[in-house]
């Protein structure tokens, strides 16, 4: 079937530089002496260590558990001993350190085989699939590193199309292309797993139309599988056709709404390497402990390696014949959307797809230019190139003027930082740098505002607590005073009055008691008593007169 494809606005044609790294089969990188495993390799909450310094660990053993649904487990990528849990440099544009578990490998690469559990897809519910993928620490391997299960849980929304993104549109990066060539069967298994988790109606595997060999392999494998709901689509080789929103538009003709998600239009997009990782987890019981990585640029042997997560990048550069002494620049990711590293003693993490090496001897041709910026001439070329239909020139003006309200009005947060505007700008203005600066400033202001709100709430609660304690203290004092002075209030006072009245009544009754032995008297005895009473009465009268 020939599928109708759609255009997206803008984009640029770039020299691909992909031949060098697709000439050789993928090799397994050498086992490093030391693995550096950051607790935070994904978007969301960092994982929590479940091992301590001195512990021996097996390959694939859980060493840090996810603390929430938006978190990802970390596993030992080889056997050895935990020698430290400390702050270490990580691959991040900030150059900051982050908590990592350091494992000294023992060279045996031993797994605890009995812990490996495989599953039959037909027996699994969508929730069970998500749970396996969550426990395996799988995150989106296309770049952002969002825990994979989040996108595999559509809630009550219907998923029409699952798009598997195999369109690597950035120059130099070829790890997904090599993965398709070498692991096509397992990728299809992964697609079936994801389809079942999402209950999606159809699946589209998107590959760039210039990757003839790769397209041919995948087409044959899909045809052999016999699944008519899986379709391979050759998408145009225009940068950034591999961007999630652009790819969805090319395949479905629909635009993801501004600030919205693909699921809002019934689409879920997953990277091809994520599908492969899902297959390894569900069908082979393997957590995510390695991935394909492209090592390109100024190295003697540019190629793709299967690399254990946590391997120092310096080891990989040496394995590919790079010279650490002559390094001038290291880029993680592609030349358009990647970021420069501050040093090479950082590990490969789950989202590392490419290491682009630049040396002082052989400069790698990069699309970005190092020419000095000149004033904007309002040519509009940036707006023509923007795949998100933004106005890059306006964004630039307002970011430069630090007018952060205005820059948001022009949809700064829809910018995917693809760099197309930079690339075409005749004045060589580093536009994306301005957008990143503005985004960081806005996030900082937001954080400061949240902190101020939090501080105010804490202050108000502090005052409320002091007042409450004061009232409780006063109530306790009052009660104590009442107990000491015998003062009682309310019911206890009333009860005391009643008791006193009762005592008076009883006394009265006692005083009204008749004298004993006065019943059944004889007439003589009654007369005698009457005479005695008469005498007493007479005596009392005389006494009163005196
Ligand atoms: S491409 Fe550069 S010079 Fe042209 S309008 Fe945009 S920012 Fe200005
Ligand atoms: S970097 Fe942002 S503004 Fe520039 S072209 Fe890409 S999406 Fe548009």
List, in sequence order, every residue forming a beta bridge with 162; answer none if it has no partner.
Answer: 203, 268
Confidence bin at 378 (pLDDT 50/70/90): very high
pTM exceeds 0.85: no
Q: For residue 397, give the ligand nearest its CA.
A: 1
Position 292 scores a pLDDT of 98
Is 80 exceeded by the pLDDT of residue 118? no
Report CA(429)–ligand 1 centroid distance (Å): 8
Confidence bin at 544 (pLDDT 50/70/90): low
Q: What's the rounded Cα separation, in Å, for the pair 82 and 34? A: 10
Q: Of all protein residues, whose CA lies closest to atom 1 belonging to ligand 2? A: 417
Q: What is the mean pLDDT of residues 483-495?
A: 65
Q: Of all protein residues, whose CA lies closest to atom 8 belonging to ligand 1? A: 376
Q: What's the rounded Cα separation, in Å, for the pair 352 and 355? A: 8
Q: What is the mean pLDDT of residues 96-111?
A: 96
Q: What is the mean pLDDT of residues 174-191?
A: 97
- Closest approach atom of ligand 2 to CA 420: 5
Q: What is the mean pLDDT of residues 100-128?
A: 86
Position 270 scores a pLDDT of 97
Position 78 scores a pLDDT of 98
Domains in the chain: ranges and CATH:
20-110+118-340 (3.40.50.11540), 369-480 (1.10.1060)
Q: For residue 439, give the ligand nearest its CA.
A: 2
Q: Of all protein residues, whose CA lies closest to atom 6 belonging to ligand 1? A: 382
Higher pLDDT, 329 or 375: 375
Position 463 scores a pLDDT of 83
**Which range is least confidently modeled, 45-54, 265-274, 493-502?**
493-502
Q: For residue 378, give the ligand nearest its CA.
A: 1
Tokens of 431: 């536009």
Position 55 scores a pLDDT of 98
Position 491 scores a pLDDT of 65
Report CA(94)–ligand 1 centroid distance (Å): 28
Report CA(419)–ligand 1 centroid distance (Å): 13
Residues 424-479 have pLDDT tens digits of 999 999 999 999 999 999 999 988 888 887 788 888 888 888 888 888 888 888 88
Q: How many CA atoms lie within 13 A of 215 on its CB side?
A: 15
Residues 316-370 have pLDDT tens digits of 999 999 877 777 789 999 999 999 988 889 999 999 999 999 876 555 666 655 6
Q: Is the peptide bond before 62 cis (omega within 30 degrees of 0)?
A: no
Is 60 exceeded by the pLDDT of residue 284? yes
Residues 18-33 have pLDDT tens digits of 999 999 999 999 999 9
Position 529 scores a pLDDT of 76
Q: What are phi and psi of 471, to 5 degrees?
A: -65, -40
| Buried-exposed string 24-35: b where 16+ CB fall within 10 A, e elsewhere | eebeebebbebb
**Given ligand 1 and candidates 10, 381, 386, which is best to mutate, with the most ligand atoms within 8 Å of its CB?**
381
Q: What is the mean pLDDT of residues 525-545?
A: 71
Position 362 scores a pLDDT of 56
Q: What is the mean pLDDT of residues 504-518?
A: 66
Confidence bin at 95 (pLDDT 50/70/90): confident
Report CA(390)–ligand 1 centroid distance (Å): 13
Residues with a CB atom less than 6 Å from ligand 1:
376-382, 392-393, 396, 425-427, 429
Report CA(241)–ligand 2 centroid distance (Å): 13
Report CA(414)–ligand 1 centroid distance (Å): 19
Q: For residue 425, give the ligand nearest its CA.
A: 1
- Closest approach atom of ligand 2 to CA 417: 1
Report CA(236)–ligand 2 centroid distance (Å): 19
Q: What's the rounded Cα separation, in Å, for the pair 383 and 378? A: 10
Q: Of all protein residues, whose CA lies closest to atom 8 belonging to ligand 2? A: 386
Count of beta carbons in the 10 Å neighbourhood of residue 505: 10
- Closest approach atom of ligand 2 to CA 414: 7
What residue spans of 201-351 are helical by DSSP H?
Answer: 212-225, 244-252, 272-284, 313-319
Higher pLDDT, 121 or 540: 121
- Closest approach atom of ligand 1 to CA 377: 3
Report CA(151)–ligand 1 centroid distance (Å): 37
Is 80 exceeded by the pLDDT of residue 137? yes
Mean pLDDT (the chain) is 90
**Given ligand 1 and candidates 372, 393, 419, 422, which is best to mutate, with the most ligand atoms within 8 Å of its CB?**
393
Position 446 scores a pLDDT of 87
Report CA(10)–ligand 2 centroid distance (Å): 10
Report CA(490)–ligand 2 centroid distance (Å): 76
Position 368 scores a pLDDT of 56
Q: For residue 394, give the ligand nearest its CA.
A: 1
Whole-angstrom Cα Rg for the chain: 41
Indicate the DSSP class of residue 182. H
Q: Going by C-beta distance under 8 Å and a sequence separation of 6 or more, which residues neighbour residue 115?
A: 58, 60, 61, 285
- Closest approach atom of ligand 1 to CA 396: 7
Share of the chain above pLDDT 90, in %: 69
**Given ligand 2 and candidates 243, 419, 433, which is best to mutate, with the most ligand atoms within 8 Å of its CB?**
419
Indicate the DSSP class of residue 514. P
Confidence bin at 223 (pLDDT 50/70/90): very high
List, in sequence order, every residue forming a beta bridge with 294; answer none if it has no partner.
Answer: 304, 354
Tokens of 371: 């020419």
**Which range is least confidently modeled, 242-246, 314-318, 485-489?**
485-489
Residues 390-425 have pLDDT tens digits of 999 999 999 999 999 999 999 999 999 999 999 999
């Amino acid at each position: 079937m020939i599928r109708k494809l759609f255009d997206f606005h803008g984009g640029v044609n770039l020299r691909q530089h992909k031949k060098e790294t697709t000439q050789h089969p993928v090799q397994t990188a050498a086992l490093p002496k030391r693995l550096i495993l950051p607790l935070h390799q994904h978007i969301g909450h960092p994982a929590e260590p479940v091992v301590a310094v001195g512990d021996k660990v097996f390959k694939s053993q859980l060493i840090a558990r996810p603390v929430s649904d938006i978190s990802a487990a970390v596993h030992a990528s080889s056997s050895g001993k935990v020698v430290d849990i400390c702050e270490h440099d990580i691959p991040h544009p900030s150059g900051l350190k982050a908590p990592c578990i350091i494992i000294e490998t023992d060279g045996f690469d031993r797994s605890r085989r009995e812990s490996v559990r495989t599953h039959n897809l037909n027996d699994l519910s969508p929730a069970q699939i998500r749970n396996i993928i969550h426990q395996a620490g799988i995150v989106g391997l296309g770049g952002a590193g969002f825990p994979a299960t989040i996108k595999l849980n559509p809630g009550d929304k219907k998923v029409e199309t699952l798009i598997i993104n195999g369109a690597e549109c950035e120059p130099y990066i070829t790890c997904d292309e090599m993965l398709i060539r070498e692991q096509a069967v397992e990728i299809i298994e992964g697609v079936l797993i994801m389809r079942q988790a999402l209950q999606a109606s159809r699946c589209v595997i998107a590959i760039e139309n210039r990757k003839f060999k790769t397209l041919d392999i995948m087409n044959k494998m899909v045809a052999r599988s016999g699944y008519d709901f899986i379709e391979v689509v050759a998408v145009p080789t225009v940068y950034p056709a591999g961007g999630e929103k652009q790819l969805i538009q090319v395949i479905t003709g629909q635009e993801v709404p501004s600030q919205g998600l693909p699921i809002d239009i019934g689409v879920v997009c997953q990277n091809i390497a994520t599908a492969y990782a899902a297959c390894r987890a569900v069908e082979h019981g393997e957590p995510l402990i390695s991935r394909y990585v492209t090592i390109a640029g100024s190295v003697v042997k540019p190629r793709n390696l299967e690399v254990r997560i946590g391997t120092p990048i310096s080891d990989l550069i040496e394995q590919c014949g790079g010279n650490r002494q002559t390094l001038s620049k290291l880029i993680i990711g592609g030349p358009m959307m990647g970021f420069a590293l501050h040093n090479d003693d950082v590990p490969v993490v789950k989202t590392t797809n490419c290491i682009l090496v630049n040396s002082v001897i052989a400069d790698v041709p990069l699309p970005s230019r190092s020419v000095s910026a000149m004033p904007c001439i309002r040519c509009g070329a940036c707006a023509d190139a923007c795949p998100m239909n933004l106005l890059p020139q306006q964004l630039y003006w307002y970011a430069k003027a630090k007018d952060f309200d205005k820059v948001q009005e022009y949809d700064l947060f829809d910018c995917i930082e693809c760099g197309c505007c930079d690339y075409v700008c005749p004045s060589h203005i580093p536009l994306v740098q301005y957008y990143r600066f503005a985004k960081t400033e806005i996030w900082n202001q937001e954080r400061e505002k949240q902190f101020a709100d939090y501080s105010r709430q804490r202050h108000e609660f502090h005052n409320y607590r002091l007042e409450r304690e004061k009232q409780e203290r006063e109530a306790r004092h009052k009660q104590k005073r009442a107990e000491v002075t015998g003062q009682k209030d309310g019911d206890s006072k009333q009860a005391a009055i009643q008791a006193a009245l009762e005592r008076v009544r009883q006394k009265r009754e006692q005083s009204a008691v008749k004298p004993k032995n006065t019943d059944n008297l004889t007439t003589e005895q009654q007369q005698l008593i009457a005479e005695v009473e008469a005498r007493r009465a007479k005596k009392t009268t005389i006494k009163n007169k005196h």
